[in-house]
Structure 1
Amino acid sequence: PDCNVSHSIIASGCIVNGTVENSVLFRKVYIGNNCVIKNSIILNDVYIGDNTVIENCIVESRDTIRANTTYIGTPDDIKIVVEKNARYVL
């Protein structure tokens, strides 16, 4: 998978398989394939599924964002994302 990170702060334990621009990723964040994260703060232990777009958002700790999801805020109206989806399917 391709990874592109620019103007961002990435903490230890992160796995990035997409594009991250002007963002902060706290510890143990997983970014799936073909994801785009822009102008956002992703708190610790967050899983973001493939093909997801997050822009101008703050994602709460221990969230699981399902694949093919889009969250877009504006610079004047930052979106707070709170998702408590099951991370593992048996």
Structure 2
Amino acid sequence: MVEWAKRDLGNFIFYPAYKIWFGEEAQELFGKEKILQFKKAIYIKELPCGVIEMQLMDDINKCHLPYNQEKQKAIVEYLEIDKLEIPKYE
């Protein structure tokens, strides 16, 4: 995981990783249907417990490759995470 991808959203940290799980709070924040309609994922499925599982990349060992980093950027842009991120004060 590259550090630039980590986003502090207050109640949780969002990492556009190999696999992403969206619980109830994330579904309320981003919109369940919007999450389910992301086109660049390998797959998206709703688990019996209500959590949405998304596989973003094809290989967990290739997260550093440019085509996978583009997917990371795409999900951040699609969900408009930059608008929700809490600014860092140092």
Length-normalised TM-score, structure 1: 0.25
Larger radius of gyration: 2
Question: What TM-score does the superposition give when structure 2 sets the normalisation length?
Answer: 0.25
Higher relative contact order (CA 8 A, sep 6+): 2
